Amino acid sequence: MTAKESLPRVVIVGGGFGGLQLARALDGKPVRVTLVDRENHHLFQPLLYQVATAGLGPSSIAVPIRAVLGDQKNTEVILGEAWEHDPATRELVLRDGERLAYDKLVIAAGAKTNYFGHEADWAPHAHGLKDLRDAIRIRERVLLAFEAAEREPDPEVRARLMTFVVIGGGPTGVEMAGAISELGRMVLAGDYRRIHPNDIRVVLVEMAPRVLTPFSEELSHDAAIMLKELGVELHLGQRVKQVTEGAVHFEGEKPLEASVIVWASGVKPVSLAERLGVTLDDRGRICVDEHCAVLGHPEIFAVGDIARFVPEGSEQPLPGLAPVAMQQGRHVARQILRDLKRQPREPFRYVDKGQMATIGRARAVAEAKGMKLEGLMAWFAWLFIHILYLVGFRNRATVLFDWFWQYVTFGRGSRLITARHDADDVRPSPLMASLPRTSTAPRSGEREAARPPAA
């Protein structure tokens, strides 16, 4: 056994904000790090809605994990899916059966779209937005709806094709609704001959009586005004009863027909959490102690969206935000190194740097430590912080260039539809099969939703 092989093994599941910060914090330290992710790229999720609305290309917000960690000699990256773990042998088992022995295991696998029990029946009709596939699919659906509307002679069908519904009034939903409305009204409408900007209808559905509930009422009110300025219709205090192909159903109301329905209503931990055999909370998150260690498993940590961390003196667990995951990742790196030096672990303290949401081009709301910003200044703050956060210089520069260019010209360089098929294509296209059909009535749902979602 060489010196290198005797070093403690740290296995990290997930190359998101938490996992990547953790891995980088272990660069040059006396540990062997293995990072497992089922994607080959780290994704800057807060900008995913920009890809979904053709504002940025996928490679502007994603960077190969290997490219980030390539120079880090003590670290290897595995493209694979963590499936379960074997506490007896201290091994992480991948989906294909490979076993990775660990001394410390960190679960940073993140969250997925939560349909609140309606995964099977609603997910095909209401698109989640958690990865690049989701974003590219929404982008193509939106662009294809415009193409279909341009060719549709029936005004009623055209009105439906030009209706877009976003379910969920949190930051993602607000950002999506604002960006779709802007894409349609300011960018796309000019390219079409038969679509007028006023034909485009974007509806934001939220169960609570206001958007952006994590923000103060004042900023929430400002955001609502900005959304209306952008032409977004607010459908507040509405509980979604059922989602069918091309229609959102409410209690005691006419269904809302739309060409594209986006589901931005909530997330839940990825299914790995359930298979680990550890203590979960009622929302499926892994319960961790004050050091971010999994209850009853001091050698396993959990950080980010998959973890439930309740700060001392608080009743509320920390929210699923990038800064939480990043701070926890760095904290766990320090605790692992303290363990090696036989120093006692320190409790994790979250430093809240505030929150922000953008509403279209040059509009945003932000609040931090009682300070509130709205409008153009908040947008600049948002722009600055997001570009700062982006991993890797190349991405940062490209995003800056894309944004600047888009800001100046209202152009959208990423309006590509790539999933279509045609007579000369030997491959089947899963997308085309689910395209909105023109001139056929939308199917309406027959089954009742078993349980209303927390939209």
Enumerate residues 281-320 that contact a copy of itself by CB under 8 A: none
- Residues 128, 245: Cα–Cα separation, whole Å: 14
95 versus 228: smaller Cβ distance to a copy of itself: 95
Joined together, the tokens standing for residue 246 give 């091309």
Pick from 409, 441, 443, 444 the residue near a copy of itself by CB under 8 A.
409
136 versus 211: smaller Cβ distance to a copy of itself: 136
219 versus 264: smaller Cβ distance to a copy of itself: 264
Helical (H) or strand (E) element with 76: strand 75-79
Considering the rule CB under 8 A, would residue 97 count as an interface residue with a copy of itself?
A: no
Q: Considering the complex, what minimum distance in angstroms separates the CB of residue 451 from a copy of itself?
A: 18
- Residues 420, 29: Cα–Cα separation, whole Å: 48
Do 203 and 256 meet the contact criterion of CB atoms below 8 Å apart?
yes
Pick from 285, 308, 361, 412 the residue near a copy of itself by CB under 8 A.
412
Region class of 412: left (phi > 0), else alpha (psi between -120 and 50), else beta: beta
Joined together, the tokens standing for residue 187 give 């960018």
Enumerate residues 27-56 that contact a copy of itself by CB under 8 A: 38-41
Taking alpha carbons only, the member of 285, 282, 281 closest to residue 302 is: 285
Q: Considering the complex, what minimum distance in angstroms separates the CB of residue 269 from a copy of itself?
A: 9
316 versus 418: smaller Cβ distance to a copy of itself: 418
Pick from 101, 368, 416, 441 the residue near a copy of itself by CB under 8 A.
416
Enumerate residues 149-178 that contact a copy of itself by CB under 8 A: 150-151
Please report where in the chains the tokens 């509405």 appear, as a residue.
238
Residues 6+ apart with CB under 8 A from 81: 36, 38, 94, 95, 96
User: Which range touches a copy of itself (CB under 8 A), out of 19-27, 77-85, 257-265, 303-311?
Assistant: 77-85
Relative to beta strand 163-167, strand 260-263 is parallel
Say which of 140, 175, 206, 257 is annotated catalytic: 175
213 versus 409: smaller Cβ distance to a copy of itself: 409
Q: How many residues line the site for a copy of itself (CB under 8 A)?
A: 71
User: Which range touches a copy of itself (CB under 8 A), out of 15-23, 128-136, 319-327, 371-379?
Assistant: 128-136
Considering the rule CB under 8 A, would residue 197 count as an interface residue with a copy of itself?
A: no
Considering the rule CB under 8 A, would residue 72 count as an interface residue with a copy of itself?
A: no
Pick from 405, 407, 441, 450 the residue near a copy of itself by CB under 8 A.
405
Q: Has 175 been annotated as catalytic?
A: yes
* DSSP line for 228-292: HHTTEEEEES--EEEEETTEEEETTS--EE-SEEEE-S-EEE-THHHHTT--B-TTSPEEB-TTS
User: Which range touches a copy of itself (CB under 8 A), out of 169-177, 214-222, 227-235, 391-399?
Assistant: 391-399
Enumerate residues 202-241 that contact a copy of itself by CB under 8 A: none
Encoded amino acid at 42, one letter: H
Considering the rule CB under 8 A, would residue 123 count as an interface residue with a copy of itself?
A: yes
Enumerate residues 249-288 that contact a copy of itself by CB under 8 A: 270-272
Do 178 and 359 meet the contact criterion of CB atoms below 8 Å apart?
yes
Pick from 58, 311, 317, 354 the residue near a copy of itself by CB under 8 A.
58
Considering the rule CB under 8 A, would residue 12 count as an interface residue with a copy of itself?
A: no
Residues 6+ apart with CB under 8 A from 426: none
- Taking CA atoms, 8 is separated from 30, 61, 70, 103, 353, in Å, by 8, 33, 20, 6, 34
Considering the rule CB under 8 A, would residue 415 count as an interface residue with a copy of itself?
A: yes
Considering the rule CB under 8 A, would residue 426 count as an interface residue with a copy of itself?
A: yes
User: Which range touches a copy of itself (CB under 8 A), out of 158-166, 191-199, 312-320, 328-336?
Assistant: 191-199
User: Which range touches a copy of itself (CB under 8 A), out of 160-168, 210-218, 339-347, 417-425?
Assistant: 417-425
User: Which range touches a copy of itself (CB under 8 A), out of 75-83, 249-257, 322-330, 357-365?
Assistant: 75-83
Enumerate residues 324-383 that contact a copy of itself by CB under 8 A: none
Taking alpha carbons only, the member of 229, 227, 198, 195 closest to residue 210 is: 227
314 versus 434: smaller Cβ distance to a copy of itself: 434
Helical (H) or strand (E) element with 356: strand 355-358
* Strand residues in 91-173 grouped as ranges (E): 91-94, 99-101, 104-107, 111-113, 163-167
Do 145 and 162 meet the contact criterion of CB atoms below 8 Å apart?
yes
Considering the rule CB under 8 A, would residue 88 count as an interface residue with a copy of itself?
A: no
Pick from 282, 422, 446, 448 the residue near a copy of itself by CB under 8 A.
422
Please report where in the chains the tokens 């807060």 appear, as a residue.
46
Cβ neighbour number for residue 241 with a 10 Å cutoff: 18
Question: Where in the sequence numbering do the catalytic residues fall?
Answer: 175
